Amino acid sequence: MSITDILSPSDIAAALRDCQAPDSFSPKKFFQISGMSKKSSSQLKEIFRILDNDQSGFIEEDELKYFLQRFECGARVLTTSETKTLLAAADHDGDGKIGAEGINLFINT
């Protein structure tokens, strides 16, 4: 399954256009524009599996850096500041990674 099986390619493109400039990524806005904030729990879990590049069951800081590229291979890399902000928003136990059970926290940042 690919991300475009769950999210509209045009919504993904619009979300990526909105955050093209470094340090312009807003998780909440990205999730709204891409349509992620409107998806069911099962769809969010599938998106999580797609974002979990190494299939470890967690999304770590290294994977978050390439977050936008999971939506489109030519997208930019998140800046260190953007990556840390995104991680901090969803890593409520402070272990440096986001587990599948935290997907709703991740989307509702």
56 annotated to bind ligand: yes
* Residues whose CB is less than 8 angstroms from the CB of residue 45 and which lie 6 or more positions away in sequence, other chains included: 100, 103
30 annotated to bind ligand: no
61 annotated to bind ligand: no
95 annotated to bind ligand: yes
62 annotated to bind ligand: no
What is the end-to-end Cα distance of the chain in Å, rounded?
A: 25
Helix (H, G, I), strand (E, B) or coil at 99: strand
93 annotated to bind ligand: yes
Residue with tokens 């099962």: 42
Return binding residues.
Answer: 52, 54, 56, 58, 63, 91, 93, 95, 97
Return binding residues for Ca(2+).
Answer: 52, 54, 56, 58, 63, 91, 93, 95, 97
